[in-house]
Amino acid sequence: MRENLEAKWQVSDLETVRARAERAGASFQWRRAQRDVFFAVTQGRLKLRVTDEGEAELIAYFRPDEPGRQASRYIVARAGEPEALLSALSSTVGVLAEVRKQRTLLLWRNVRVHLDEVEGLGTFVELESVVDADTPRDAAAANFEELASKLDLRPDKTVGKAYVDLVLANDREGGRP
């Protein structure tokens, strides 16, 4: 199982954050529409992510729903037949909710910078610092904190909920962000 350290912030201006990231040395990787279908599971979260390019991944992940930087453990499996997989999972475990977004990915050292425009929710920045053999947890944490500081993303302003939980809460409140 892979691991990263991550946090999310709701922001009003993605372009300002992007400019700060690029000044810090982050490089643009891609921009894509993503559709994440979350399934009703008993442990962690399970989603099928399909991009506008037709790529698909089934992602299982485990992360506390708390503000601040959190460790996230995850498994990613490429999905060759996303519609068949969606049909199988929908009919057996059930769909919890769907999240649609436009995501821009930048990369700084081992840190993925996600600039997200989430349908019905607004604009967010997510930082994910990958923990692996090349970047142990302490180095991943240091990189995360350094980049968050350069982007002026304060630790006390993080959003502690996953997009799916924000979408579900928004639906319960009648569509108010």
What is the predicted pLDDT for the residue at 59?
Answer: 98
**Token pair 């006390």: residue:** 156
What is the predicted pLDDT for the residue at 174?
Answer: 76
Is 177's pLDDT higher than 80?
no
Q: Is the pTM of this model over 0.75?
A: yes
- SS3 for 117? strand
Question: What region does 151 belong to: left with phi over 0, alpha with psi -120 to 50, or beta?
Answer: alpha
| Average pLDDT of the residues in 88-114 | 98
From residue 101, alpha-carbon distances to 77, 81, 119, 159 in Å are 20, 21, 6, 17
Is 175's pLDDT higher than 70?
no
User: Which domains, ranges and CATH numbers included, belong to the chain?
Assistant: 2-172 (2.40.320.10)
Please tell me the distance from the alpha carbon of residue 142 to that of residue 8, in angstroms, as a whole number: 17
Task: Identify whether the C-beta of residue 102 lies closer than 8 Å to the C-beta of residue 119.
Answer: no
- Residue 7 neighbours by CB distance under 10 Å: 23
Percent of the chain predicted with pLDDT > 90: 95
94 band by pLDDT with thresholds 50, 70 and 90: very high
